[in-house]
Chain A
Amino acid sequence: MAFELREHTADIAVEATGETLEETVAAVADGLAAASCNTDEIPPDTGDRFDLTVAAESREALLFEYLDELIYLRDVRLELPVENRVRIRDQRPEAGDADDEEGADDADDRWTLEGSARGVPLSEIDAREVKAVTYSEMRLEAVGGESGSETAGWEAYVVFDV
């Protein structure tokens, strides 16, 4: 699991990779923390872990909801979420790829993410504000192995508004 901060004229992008979808999504969240402050300066033992749950109708929407929730929780808890852990469940594993129909609502949310993070009090760190997650240029996809047939891992690319 790894992430890199990528260039964007006004904002900042996170590119993440992982062996699994869950690792990759957690890496994007860690990238969000790195876009907010110098993570080397985060005190190792400060702040308690907290849990969060989000649901959505597709994988991409789930990633969006998750990052949106982390930013929301940062503002209301006044803590920067770091060391993110993620469990993802597809509640309809038999179904094909998400094919959203017009008028779909929360009842069609088949993807659930249960996450946790350590909340580092903002008063303890020198962090700047990432305003929001965006859908712009968002990618979340499985990448094939060398044979081209099997999944070797996952890649994600997310632009954040700064």
Chain B
Amino acid sequence: MTSFDANGVTLERVREFVWELPREGDMRSPARVLASEALLEQIADDKTLEQLRNATHLPGITKYAICMPDGHQGYGFPVGGVGAMDAETGCISPGAVGYDINCGVRMMTTNLTYSDVQGHEEELVDALFDNVPSGLGGGGIVEGDIDTVEEVLARGVDWALEHGYAVEDDLLHCEDEGMREGADPSKVTQKAKDRGKNQLGSLGSGNHFLEVQRVTDVFDGEVGEAFGLEEDQIVVLIHCGSRGLGHQTCNDYLRKIERHHGGLLNQLPDKELAAAPAGSQLAGDYYGAMNAAINFAWVNRQLIMHRTRRVFERVFDRSWEDMEMELLYDVAHNIAKKETHEVDGEQRELYVHRKGATRAFPAGHPDVPRAYRDVGQPVIIPGSMGAGSYVLCGGEASMDLTFGSTAHGAGRLMSRTQAKQDYWGGDVQQELQEQQQIYVKAQSGATIAEEAPGVYKDVDEVVRVSDALGIGDKVARTFPVCNIKG
């Protein structure tokens, strides 16, 4: 196949798994989709391609707007989208970061094996569910006041370290050591802080979850060893973001941009793409606020991880240090970062927007934490609660092909309303337990139905494409044991 037609959009095949939407009309760059034909069929099934084309209208977009193999329709910018805008002449777009700023995933390793956990699954899932706040209005692990929120926004995981919710080693295994430079709490509105103060250390709902998993395969022994992964080992995966504080920050800035940069907004095909021109007051303010929200999300995941250590201590009657419960890595998948990339032989500063995409810097990159610099940045790709998840490492080709990015998950296939018609939460829960020995507990049966394994794309296929393109290389696969969600 040399081209692919979908609802009036024609993609040209560049090479295997690389499809290009040529520049035309008001597009400022071409767009690319990285997918197998099977995934492309699914991507073309909703408004993903239209949204990807719209994203190329953003000023300063460099090379091309890119859709990852797990891409699907979002709002404004597609989920699974990567767009790098020139940091001097381009723009920064809250809509291209997404509502849940620094929504992301972290994985904690342990020295437990699956057999250590078998027989304790029910106790473990109940204890996690009772101790990790989830759902709507469930409170947080820390009942903070505004001063606490300000500290968290400014200092990130360093705040958690000072207050006994983290150890030094946790910081060394987190992007930016858990503290984003340029975070400016004064640019986060009072409304956002009000929402954040009773949600610090909470999962939320939707597709967020905490999952105990077992490692089923290690594909790359050398990198697996560097990541501390081996077959049959128990690991914990935590997926959540900056909660109401991040959501409010996104909308606060969408509105500010609408009020102050209406001229630019009117040139864009979708209001949700609202962008502040690079160098403007609002671009600087949003970057400061977003960086602060990134810190909030890191602390959120840190608090949940630390609470999980305590739960394991009670269930297994051993100290967490004895169980070697250590942070493998924390990846953000809704974020914009000022990064330096080589474009046409020139070093350029770009705002790299990753919305539903993960940074995947290869071995040797100076921004990869020292612990992993020889093998590449760990990338964690969660699958659905009935399928495996993957650990990858940043691939050699990522800098050239995707501004150092890869996929972020399986990607949704089916709408939430359709899912609730097709599935009933209780049945899904029972089937997972009886057929796959996966113990699931959620605040709401509807959430289980909406997150049923059948609503997601095939994570194996997403990872196959990432691995084949060399943007994120397969290291290990894990499979769920217990899962809690909102």
Contact = CB atoms under 8 A, between A and B. Distances in A.
> A and B, one complex?
yes
A159 B137 contact: no
Interface residues of B, number: 51
A39 interface: no
Nearest to B245: A75
Contacts of B259: 57, 100, 103-106
A64 B445 CA distance: 30
Interface string A93-106: 00000001111111
B415 A8 contact: yes
Interface residues of A, number: 46
Interface in A102-146: 102-106, 122-123, 126-129, 131-138
Contacts of A65: 255
A128 B248 contact: no
Contact of B199 (A68, A72, A75, A132): A75
A128 B419 CA distance: 15
Given A10-B73, A76-B195, A161 B99 contact: yes
B205 interface: yes
B200 to A, nearest CB: 13
B432 to A, nearest CB: 19
A63 to B, nearest CB: 12
A6 interface: yes
B486 A102 contact: no
Contacts of A102: 260-263
B81 to A, nearest CB: 13
A131 B73 contact: no
B137 A127 contact: yes
A38 B449 CA distance: 14
A128 B486 contact: yes
B52 to A, nearest CB: 14
A129 B72 contact: no
Given A9-B412, A122-B136, A162 B206 contact: yes
Interface string A58-98: 00010011001001101110101000000000000000000
Given A38-B446, A126-B444, A5 B417 contact: yes
A7 interface: yes
Interface in B70-128: 72-76, 79, 98-100
Contact of B254 (A75, A135, A159): A135
Contacts of B313: none
Contacts of B204: 129, 131
Contacts of B260: 102-105
Contact of B247 (A9, A61, A131): A131
Contacts of A129: 135-136, 204-206, 486
Given A9-B46, A64-B255, A129-B205, A135 B444 contact: no
A127 B418 CA distance: 19
B271 A138 contact: yes
Interface string A24-38: 000000000000101
B416 A162 contact: yes
B429 interface: no
B100 A131 contact: yes
12 contacts: A6-B417, A68-B255, A71-B247, A75-B194, A128-B443, A128-B447, A131-B244, A132-B250, A132-B251, A135-B76, A136-B272, A161-B100
Q: Top 4 nearest A-B pairs by Cβ distance?
A: A122-B137, A136-B75, A7-B415, A135-B271
Interface of A: 5-12, 36, 38, 57, 61, 64-65, 68, 71-72, 74-76, 78, 80, 100-106, 122-123, 126-129, 131-138, 159, 161-162
